[in-house]
């Protein structure tokens, strides 16, 4: 997934970019209204923008340019009064996040936006389907029984369908889910078990990098 971040605070921009990159997002950063204008046609999934820019206003940028492109947008700003929050949402933005903020919360909000964009929350890869609402995996019409960690790994791969999920990302997630020490062999074991249960080759190994599932 590709994000345009319009933010003039270098520390905030770098922090968001680092965190989202770790979670398999591509983040382009611009720090002015004018620079943003040059990037708007680059096919972004979500735009995160500050309201107070050095050479313009984020509300105006959204209303005059972004809204017509139908790119979901999140205002990320220190303007935390009710009037500005209502204004941002009334313009049509998907969300409004005030500073200071949690990177995990911002990521969750962006993921929710991306999922709402999908016409369906059931993703199909060959004869395998995954229901994101139910967290249920099916081969044809038969549900595949998975352990809790296997299910979360599959969800991670399907949430990032059509792009590679790095091995280190999966390692970080397994540690986060279990709190246990894990190593590279742990991923190999889990992926082997999952593939055996699937009886399918939908999980593609990108040697030395990670894994990918391609949507049908």
Least Cα distance to 157 among 200, 116, 112, 125 occurs for: 125
Alpha helical stretches, state H, the chain? 10-22, 33-37, 58-61, 67-69, 82-91, 103-117, 148-159, 167-178, 184-198
Tell me: do 78 and 27 sit in the same domain.
yes
Tell me: do 59 and 101 sit in the same domain.
yes
Confidence band for 46, pLDDT divided at 50, 70 and 90: very high
Per-residue pLDDT tens digits for 95-105: 999 999 999 99
Least Cα distance to 111 among 170, 18, 25, 211 occurs for: 25
Q: Report pLDDT for 96.
A: 95
Tell me: do 90 and 148 sit in the same domain.
no
Tell me: do 190 and 165 sit in the same domain.
yes
Tell me: do 97 and 142 sit in the same domain.
no
Q: How many CB atoms lie within 10 A of CB 100?
A: 7
- CATH code of the domain in which 32 resides: 3.40.50.2300
Q: Report pLDDT for 30.
A: 97
Dihedral angle at the C-alpha atoms of 61, 64, 67, 69, nearest 10 degrees?
-100
> Percent of the chain at pLDDT above 70?
98
Q: How far apart are CA 212 and CA 203, in angstroms?
A: 6
Domain final residue, candidates 77, 95, 117: 117
Q: Give the residue-averaged pLDDT of 167-184.
A: 86
Tell me: do 79 and 127 sit in the same domain.
no
Host domain of residue 151: 122-213
For the chain, what is the domain count?
2
Mean pLDDT computed over every residue of the chain: 91
Q: Report pLDDT for 205.
A: 95
Q: Give the residue-averaged pLDDT of 120-147.
A: 88
- CATH code of the domain in which 134 resides: 1.10.10.10
Domain final residue, candidates 85, 100, 117: 117
Residue 131 in tokens:
């229901």
Residue 21 in tokens:
């990159």
Per-residue pLDDT tens digits for 64-94: 999 988 899 999 999 999 999 999 999 999 9
Per-residue pLDDT tens digits for 23-44: 889 999 999 999 999 999 888 9
Assess whether pLDDT exceeds 60 at residue 120.
Answer: no
Tell me: do 64 and 140 sit in the same domain.
no
Assess whether pLDDT exceeds 80 at residue 116.
Answer: no
Tell me: do 59 and 139 sit in the same domain.
no
Assess whether pLDDT exceeds 80 at residue 204.
Answer: yes
Tell me: do 109 and 126 sit in the same domain.
no
Q: Give the residue-averaged pLDDT of 47-70.
A: 94
Tell me: do 112 and 7 sit in the same domain.
yes
Tell me: do 111 and 129 sit in the same domain.
no
- Tokens 């249920």 correspond to 136
What residues contact 170, with CB distance under 8 A and at least 6 apart?
153, 156, 187, 210, 211
Q: Give the residue-averaged pLDDT of 112-128.
A: 79
Tell me: do 6 and 79 sit in the same domain.
yes
Domain final residue, candidates 74, 92, 117: 117
């Amino acid at each position: 997934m590709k994000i345009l971040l319009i933010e003039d605070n270098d520390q905030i921009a770098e922090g968001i970019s680092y965190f989202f990159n770790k979670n398999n997002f591509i983040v382009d950063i611009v720090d002015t209204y004018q620079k943003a204008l040059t990037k708007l046609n680059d096919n972004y999934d979500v735009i995160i923008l500050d309201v107070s820019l050095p050479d313009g206003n984020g509300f105006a940028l959204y209303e005059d340019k972004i809204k017509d492109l139908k790119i979901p947008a999140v205002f990320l700003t220190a303007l935390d009064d009710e009037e500005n929050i209502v204004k941002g949402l009334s313009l049509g933005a998907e969300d409004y996040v005030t500073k200071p903020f949690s990177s995990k919360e911002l990521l969750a909000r962006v993921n929710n936006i991306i999922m709402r964009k999908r016409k369906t929350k059931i993703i199909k890869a060959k004869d395998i389907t995954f229901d994101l609402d139910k967290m249920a995996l099916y081969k044809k019409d038969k549900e595949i029984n998975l352990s809790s960690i296997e299910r979360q790994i599959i969800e991670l791969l399907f949430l990032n369908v059509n792009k590679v999920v790095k091995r280190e990302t999966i390692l970080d997630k397994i540690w986060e889910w279990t709190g246990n020490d894990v190593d590279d062999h742990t991923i190999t074991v889990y992926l082997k078990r999952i593939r055996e249960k699937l009886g399918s080759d939908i999980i593609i190994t990108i040697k030395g990098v990670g894994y990918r599932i391609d949507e049908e």
